[in-house]
Amino acid sequence: MKLSFNNIAKNFSDLQVVEQFSSEMQTGELVALVGPSGCGKSTLLHIAAGLEKPSGGSILADGQPVAGPHPERMLMFQENALYPWLTLVGNVALALEFQKVGKAQARQQAVDWLAKVKLQGFEEYYPHQVSGGMRQRAALARAFVSQPKVLLLDEPFGALDALTRMTLQDALRDLIHEVRPTVLLVTHDVDEALFLADRIVVFSPRPAMVLKEFHLDRHAKTHDLSEFAAMRREILCLLGIHAEHEDVKPLEGVEA
């Protein structure tokens, strides 16, 4: 599904959050939105989800105005997105039951998708009985089970430790490869954007304006992002972060 943001502006009372944002996300494209905290990235996701109305401009999904939330445009948050009173399989099946899929069929599909995110054997566990990474795996299964055409990810792995985050990024890549939704990813993690995205949009502080877009080759990327070092440095620089301080320096006396 193609998403078109046409001259989007958004303000909350006197607060101008987004100014003149225009961009087209092609079917199956993964676009990462990065920018300073509070610049309006989540607001753009909410507009795409149909949860917020723009103050100016229009948002189209396959040429049709977005009038409100729709299951084909799925929003996934950072953490605690699962219902604590339902098991993992119950949480995933519920996404289908909302769409009027029969209970038995919903459950079978939920079991299948939990297996795809390596949670077989944990179907009957409650969210508090599994780790944060496992909860986010289940949340991924729930986001993908109804095979959405657009996936809106708001810092999906922001609460996880670095190692768990990387395994979840791999899982997300596999699911995207299978379902091929159009994805808008809000992240503070530049490496996550470099690993997952086809395109990275870097925003200014509020009101959000596009500072620069980066196009990445779609090929089998690994977590070794050394080939993107120059791009990483430029993005960090645009965000006002001194990249040279970020780099790991060899310890004294150790040859680089």
Ligand X SMILES: Nc1ncnc2c1ncn2[C@@H]1O[C@H](COP(=O)(O)OP(=O)(O)OP(=O)(O)O)[C@@H](O)[C@H]1O
**Residue 109 phi/psi, 5° resolution?**
-65, -35
**Does residue 40 belong to the site contacting ligand X (CB under 6 A)?**
yes
Strand order in the sheet with 150-154: 73-76, 150-154, 182-186, 30-34, 199-203, 210-215
| Positive or negative torsion for Cα 22, 25, 26, 30 | positive
What are 242's two structure tokens?
């001194």
**Does residue 39 belong to the site contacting ligand X (CB under 6 A)?**
yes
Q: Which is nearer to ligand X, 42 or 91 (CB)?
A: 42
Q: How far apart are the first and last CA of the chain?
A: 47
At 47 the three-state DSSP class reads helix
Cα(190)–Cα(131) distance, integer angstroms: 25
> Total residues at the site for ligand X (CB under 6 A)?
11
Q: Which is nearer to ligand X, 37 or 64 (CB)?
A: 37
**Per-residue contact string for residues 183-212; x = within reach of ligand X by CB under 6 A:** -----------------------x------
Q: Which is nearer to ligand X, 17 or 168 (CB)?
A: 17
In the list 43, 87, 182, 187, the residue contacting ligand X (rule: CB under 6 A) is 43
Which residues, numbered 19-38, are part of the site for ligand X (CB under 6 A)? Answer: 35, 37-38
> Residue 55 Cβ, how far from ligand X at the closest point, in Å?
12
Asked if 107 and 89 touch (Cβ cutoff 8 Å), the reply is yes
Q: Which is nearer to ligand X, 17 or 119 (CB)?
A: 17
In the list 5, 31, 41, 90, the residue contacting ligand X (rule: CB under 6 A) is 41
Binding site for ligand X (CB under 6 A): 12, 17, 35, 37-43, 206
